[in-house]
Amino acid sequence: MKKNICIRNAHLIDVDSGRVLSPRSVVLQNGKIHRITEAPANADATTIDAAGLYLCPGLIDCHVHFFWDAGPDPRGTYLASDDKTRMAQARRNAGIALAAGITTMRDLAAPAPLMFEFQHQVQCGQIPGPHIISCGYALMRPKGHCHFMGGGEVSTAEEVRQLSTAQLAQGAGFIKLMASGGGLTPGTVPHDADLPLELMRAATAVARDHGVQITAHCHATESIERAVDAGLDMIEHANFVEPPGRYRYDEDIAKRIRDQGIVVSPTAYGALQTARRFRAAGGAHNPNDVAAVERLEGRVKNTTHFHRLGMKIIAGTDCGATNSPFDCLVDELLTYTQAGLSPEEALQSATNRSAQYLALPDRGQIKEGYLADLTLLQGNPFEDLNHLRSPLKVFKSGQLVHELANPQNHNHAH
């Protein structure tokens, strides 16, 4: 039987209140936060002296793609790889995420057989990685966005029902739709709402029948409207792109999203990085390039509007896509502060709020009975979100899964 762990004298990051709690000890037992106390450490526990350090909930990235490499051509790299290489990429990404203090990730489109195998290996402890919630294949029109991963194409409501039900039986935790085209897939364009409303409603019915959530990739404004009409739980990107590819925010639709309680994941950082690199390379001159940069930079503007309207925002990086490595969640949160969120609100979008909106009531806060998913930091993230980078220690389900090799100024384990 593994000994309990006692993290002693840490300042606690209370994401719910947005405050730092005075130093206390946190006892980890059987994967959970067993006790939070100001009393001395338990002699039977392995003790970690965290005096002067900050204990934060493990982070949650709500939009990832484990089987992509975050390089200039994720699709090309994926297609050029065999399954062994693809699994190695997923393992590498999982390790990067853990070292960054990300303890839960939601994968939003993958080769389903590999995804469910990978998910099982992580869950069983065969390979290190965060907690994973996945959809398997996303559902798209024939030759739609991300069809190159080998499955998920649907033409009828019956095909939607069959594939969704089968994937939920195989290990999927939710349903993902590709309601518009995407920049990664030739033959699709972001401004096309190319999944019919009828099929989106059929998928929503399956989600309701199975008690799971449903979300959709939506760049096209019309696809966002369809997601609202179909009664989805969440919208990814919510980019407001109209034919022939121009960005134009729509306040009326945004208010409908808010009023229906639909959650949005803006995935802003990677898009902003791509736009910055495009501008730095001297692009954005012809009308198509100008429109592309406007679409990318529009995600930050959208986040400002979403925050102003009081919409539900969760942090998702789209990591695996170009310019979105598996440790860029802090950059996503900093982009949210650029859009008007406070540091406290930004951190909540990757901890307690994301846990709440993803229906994960056992994580995202430092509370007794919660999963012991924790990061030990050198500084207060409410003062500077950059303190979330390079955590000294990362715990997943009460186990130390990462330790910074050469922490400066601190050597607290004994």
By DSSP bridging, strand 46-49 and strand 5-14 are parallel
Q: Residue 408: its pLDDT value, please?
A: 66
Class of domain 5-58+364-403: mainly beta
Helix axes 329-338 and 287-308, enclosed angle (nearest 10): 80
Q: Is the pLDDT of residue 200 over 80?
A: yes
Return the structure tokens found at 361.
Answer: 């009531």
> Is the CA virtual torsion 312, 318, 324, 326 positive or negative?
positive
Q: What are the tens digits of pLDDT across the range 288-335?
A: 788 889 999 999 999 999 999 999 999 999 999 999 999 999 999 999
Ranges 41-50, 282-291, 304-313, 363-372: which has the least confidence: 282-291
Q: Is the pLDDT of residue 197 over 70?
A: yes
Q: Residue 39: its pLDDT value, please?
A: 78
Computed over every residue of the chain, the mean pLDDT equals 96
Burial category of 1 from C-beta neighbours within 10 Å (exposed 0-12, middle 13-18, buried 19 and up): exposed
pLDDT category, 141, cuts 50, 70, 90? very high
- pTM of the complete model: 0.97
pLDDT category, 412, cuts 50, 70, 90? very low
What are the structural domain ranges in the chain?
5-58+364-403, 59-357
Domain 59-357 has CATH 3.90.198.10: no
Q: Residue 278: its pLDDT value, please?
A: 84
Q: Residue 286: its pLDDT value, please?
A: 74
Q: Which residues of 229-239 are buried (b: 16+ CB within 10 A; e: fewer)?
A: ebebbbbbbbb
Q: Is the pLDDT of residue 406 over 90?
A: no
3-class secondary-structure state, position 263: strand
d(CA 407, CA 10): 17
